[in-house]
Amino acid sequence: MNEATWDDRYRLGIAAIDRQHRQLFDLIADLNGLIAVHAGAGEIQAVLQRFQRWAEMHFAAEETLLSVTGYPGHDSHGEEHARFLATLERNIKLIASRPLAITQTDISALLTDWLRAHILKNDREYLPHLRASIRDLP
Ligand SMILES: [Fe+2]
Ligand SMILES: [Fe+2]
């Protein structure tokens, strides 16, 4: 089982964004907990959909910040988010309709790998711009 725990490596220093990232890690940990106790498909679906809604909300918040501050990489960052949401949607449908096509552990690993890599690379890239643009972030 992958370790989906938050640690300081993921801290960007922007409280609202850090809170949302943390919430996404917590939801993956919930998913892993359900997988570990062999929870039913309904419960797995529910937590995946909760993750999906939080991811959509977080991406919208992040893209708004990048857009209003005129981040040059706004479009490509938004495309990264959209690609991930499409992959997530596809996999949620796949596990619901053909549970043998993909394992719950595969989905968990996909979410964890993407979230880690995206925060450490793509989200970190906008930090200097955001810090310079906004002085009084929450
Ligand atoms: Fe992002
Ligand atoms: Fe993010």
Q: Residue 27 is part of a domain; what is its CATH number?
A: 1.20.120.50
Residue at 87 is within a domain? yes
Task: Find the 19 Cα to ligand 1 centroid distance in Å.
Answer: 13
- Give 34-40 contacts, CB < 8 A, sequence gap 24+: 35/1, 35/104, 35/105, 35/108, 36/1
Whether the model pTM is above 0.85: yes
Minimum-distance ligand to the CA of 76? 1
Residue at 7 is within a domain? no
Task: Find the 4 Cα to ligand 2 centroid distance in Å.
Answer: 15
- Structural domain boundaries, residue 61: 13-133
Residue at 32 is within a domain? yes
* pLDDT on residue 65: 93
* CA-based R_g, the chain, Å: 16
Ranges of residues in the chain with a pLDDT under 70 are 1-3, 135-138
Residue at 111 is within a domain? yes
Residue at 5 is within a domain? no
Residue at 61 is within a domain? yes
Minimum-distance ligand to the CA of 10? 2
Residue at 101 is within a domain? yes
Q: Alpha helices, DSSP H only, in 69-119?
A: 74-97, 104-117
Number of domains the chain is built from: 1
Residue at 67 is within a domain? yes
* pLDDT on residue 5: 81
